[in-house]
């Protein structure tokens, strides 16, 4: 048995879908209800009714549909024909002319057609029963295709490869949210027209108002056939086009379909999780302890690191720049200690070897040591040492927690600490005492750093996705980063305290090392 591939003409299905809406509006605005009474009885003036009739007449004409019988002069009748009496199959070429740039004579106007439809829909009170959003979407996508392609017949087997999938009702997630790296805006529309037709897909994010916003910068040469297939699939859909994420694809399996589209979007430069913007923390209390009689010239490299911290636009980037500062201090304090203890003697191989052994110590141990030697140093103009300055940050953090939510914060933070620990068990902070937090702060910072950087298959990865959780974001941005900044910005200017001989942990006591 031979199967013939049926051919369809896209423009016929497009006209049919739009005409169906026009007829619905026609019935709603000028038709009669079940009791035979006009819908708009006592609601519109005679002048408004005539204007509405004229708009309906013009809309039919845009579709190439004559609403008057040939033997009757339309000027001789008062009423527009009833919707059911209009022969929607008897069409002229005027609608086709919309799609043919070479057409001669009077051409229809997409803008006029869409304007009339919007106006009629508004007059009808924007009824949900009339799927204006679907037609509005069709008209918007028509502007994206090569218009003449709608005049050519296409095989149904090509169209039937693809389906229109409603992926994410109400935009609740589902991994189909993509952000532009250029301006961090959410992408609403993307078309991939593959060299191999089956690889093509269309992504659409429909807003709560039922609209599709297309960024002009994303418009390139008109795309066919995938966009034409999309238009036809929307025309054939009997249900409304609702708010949410939509895909046109030939991949039936949902997981494979989403993964395939996600891979494409990443290769295009999009990212999946909304970035958590960071705030800029100023440090006026540290500023008060700067002393013009002191020499800060050897900290020029540290100033570059501080600049990087201030320039970071997202929470996780700022965290990592703060860590880079502490990482620098870990190494620098060791070099300072070794040079200071050398007492002016020649710096030989043994000292270099000792320096190497010191640097190769475990990083967490070094971070603990940095906090230990910095803990009692005065870091602000209130004569507070580092530990008490961090205590102030701690108290400020908990004062911002909404009443009744303290336990929820404690549980969420401990759960985060458990996740970022390599063994998945972690440690529990006793939130009833500041020391319970302070003693574990280096470990928390180090584990977070590893969780951001390593991203091993066996480790929990701290990414922008987690920053959507307000408690996690507030803990990192509102407590951890301010504590790290207190050390990063405060330690170079810090003092041992009044009347005490200062052995600064970051200041080199010699400009050079004597080797011979």
Q: What is the DSSP string of 31-90?
A: SB-TTS-BTTTTTS-HHHHHHHHHHHHHHHHHTTB--S-TTS-GGG-SSPPPGGGS-TTS
pLDDT over threshold 50, residue 90? yes
Sequence-separated (6 or more) residues with CB below 8 Å from residue 417? 426, 427, 428, 429, 444, 447
**How many alpha carbons lie under 13 Å from residue 497 in its C-beta half-sphere?**
8
> Considering Cα of 171, then 177, then 182, then 183, what sign does the dihedral take?
positive
- Confidence at residue 57, expressed as pLDDT on a 0 to 100 scale: 82
Give the span between the Cα atoms of 95 and 109, in whole angstroms.
9
Per-residue pLDDT for 28 more than 50? Answer: yes
The first and second tokens of residue 355, run together, are 């320096």
pLDDT, tens digit, for every residue of 431-442?
Answer: 888 999 999 999
Q: Which residues contact 372 (CB under 8 A, 6 or more apart)?
A: none
The pLDDT of residue 239 is above 80: yes
Q: Is 264 exposed, middle or buried (0-12, 13-18, 19+ CB in 10 A)?
A: middle
What contacts 24+ positions apart, CB below 8 Å, involve 381-387? 381/284, 381/285, 381/286, 381/287, 381/288, 381/289, 382/285, 384/285, 385/497, 386/486, 386/487, 386/490, 386/491, 386/494, 387/438
pLDDT at 273: 81
| Whether the predicted pLDDT of 46 surpasses 60 | yes
Tokens 């405060």 -> residue: 490
**Mean pLDDT (whole number) for 246-254:** 92
CA 440 to chain centre: 34
Tell me what pLDDT residue 218 has: 53
Mean pLDDT is lowest, of 86-90, 326-330, 380-384, for: 86-90
Would strands 189-192 and 163-169 be described as parallel, antiparallel, or unpaired? Answer: unpaired
pLDDT at 328: 93
Q: Mean pLDDT across the stretch 135-143?
A: 85
Confidence class for position 295, pLDDT limits 50, 70, 90: confident
Average pLDDT of the chain is: 80
Give the pLDDT of residue 105: 41
Both tokens assigned to 110:
């997409």
Q: Give Cα 18 to chain centroid, integer Å.
A: 34
Report which of 486, 467, 469 is spatially closest to residue 325, judged by C-alpha positions: 486
Higher pLDDT, 66 or 387: 387
With tokens 């996780």, the residue in question is: 316
Mean pLDDT of the region 227-233: 91
Given a cut of 60, whether residue 44 has pLDDT beyond it is: no
What predicted TM-score, i.e. pTM, was given to this entire model?
A: 0.73
Closest CA to 452 of 480, 479, 431: 480
- Inform me whether the pLDDT recorded for 32 exceeds 70: no
* Start-to-end CA span in the chain (Å): 98
Comparison of pLDDT for 362 and 248, the residue scoring more: 248
User: Could you tell me which residues are beta bridge partners of residue 314?
Assistant: 277
pLDDT at 41 over 90: no
Query: On the CB side of 77, how many CA atoms lie within 13 Å of its CA?
Result: 13
């Amino acid at each position: 048995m031979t199967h013939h591939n049926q051919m369809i003409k896209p423009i016929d299905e497009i006209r049919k879908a739009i005409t169906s809406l026009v007829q619905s509006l026609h019935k709603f605005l000028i038709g009669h209800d079940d009791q035979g009474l006009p819908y708009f009885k006592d609601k519109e003036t005679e002048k408004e009714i005539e204007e509405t009739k004229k708009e309906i007449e013009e809309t039919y004409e845009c579709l190439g549909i004559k609403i008057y019988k040939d033997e009757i002069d339309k000027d001789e009748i008062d009423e527009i024909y009833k919707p059911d009496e209009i022969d929607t199959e008897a069409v002229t070429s005027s609608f086709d002319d919309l799609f043919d740039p070479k057409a001669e004579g009077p051409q229809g106007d997409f803008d006029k057609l869409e304007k009339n439809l919007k106006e009629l829909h508004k007059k009808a009170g924007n009824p949900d029963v009339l799927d204006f959003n679907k037609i509005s979407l069709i008209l918007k996508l028509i502007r994206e295709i090569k218009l003449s392609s709608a005049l050519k017949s296409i095989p149904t087997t090509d169209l039937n490869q693809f389906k229109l999938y409603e992926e994410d009702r109400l935009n609740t997630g589902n991994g189909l949210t993509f952000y532009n790296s250029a301006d961090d805006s959410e992408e609403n529309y993307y078309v991939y027209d593959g060299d191999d037709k089956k690889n093509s897909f269309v992504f659409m994010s429909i807003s709560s108002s039922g609209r599709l916003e297309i960024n002009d910068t994303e418009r390139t040469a008109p795309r066919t056939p995938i966009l034409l297939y999309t238009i036809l699939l929307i025309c054939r859909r009997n249900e409304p086009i609702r708010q949410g994420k939509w895909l046109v694809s030939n991949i039936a399996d949902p997981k494979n379909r989403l993964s395939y589209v996600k891979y494409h979007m990443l290769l295009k430069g999009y990212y999946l999780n909304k970035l958590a913007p960071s705030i800029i923390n100023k440090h006026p209390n540290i500023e008060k302890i700067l002393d013009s009689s002191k020499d800060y010239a050897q900290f020029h490299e540290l100033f570059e690191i501080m600049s990087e911290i201030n320039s970071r636009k997202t929470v996780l980037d700022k965290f990592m720049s703060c860590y880079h500062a502490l990482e620098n201090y870990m190494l620098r304090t060791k070099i300072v200690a070794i040079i200071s203890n050398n007492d002016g003697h020649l710096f030989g191989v043994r000292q270099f070897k000792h320096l190497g052994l010191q640097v190769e110590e475990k990083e967490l141990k070094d971070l603990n040591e940095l906090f230990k030697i910095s803990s009692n140093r005065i870091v602000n103009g209130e004569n507070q040492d580092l530990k008490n300055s961090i205590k102030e940050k701690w108290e400020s953090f908990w004062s911002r927690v909404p009443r009744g939510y303290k336990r929820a914060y404690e549980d969420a933070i401990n759960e985060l600490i458990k996740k970022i620990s390599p063994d998945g068990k972690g440690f529990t902070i006793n939130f009833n005492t500041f020391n319970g937090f302070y003693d574990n702060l280096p470990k928390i910072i180090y584990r977070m750093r590893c969780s951001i950087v390593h991203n091993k298959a066996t480790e929990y990865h701290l990414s922008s996705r987690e920053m959507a959780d307000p408690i996690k974001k507030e803990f990192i941005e509102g407590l951890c980063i301010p504590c790290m900044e207190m050390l990063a910005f405060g330690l170079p200017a810090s003092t041992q305290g009044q009347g005490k001989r200062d052995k600064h942990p970051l200041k080199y006591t010699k400009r050079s090392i004597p080797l011979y």
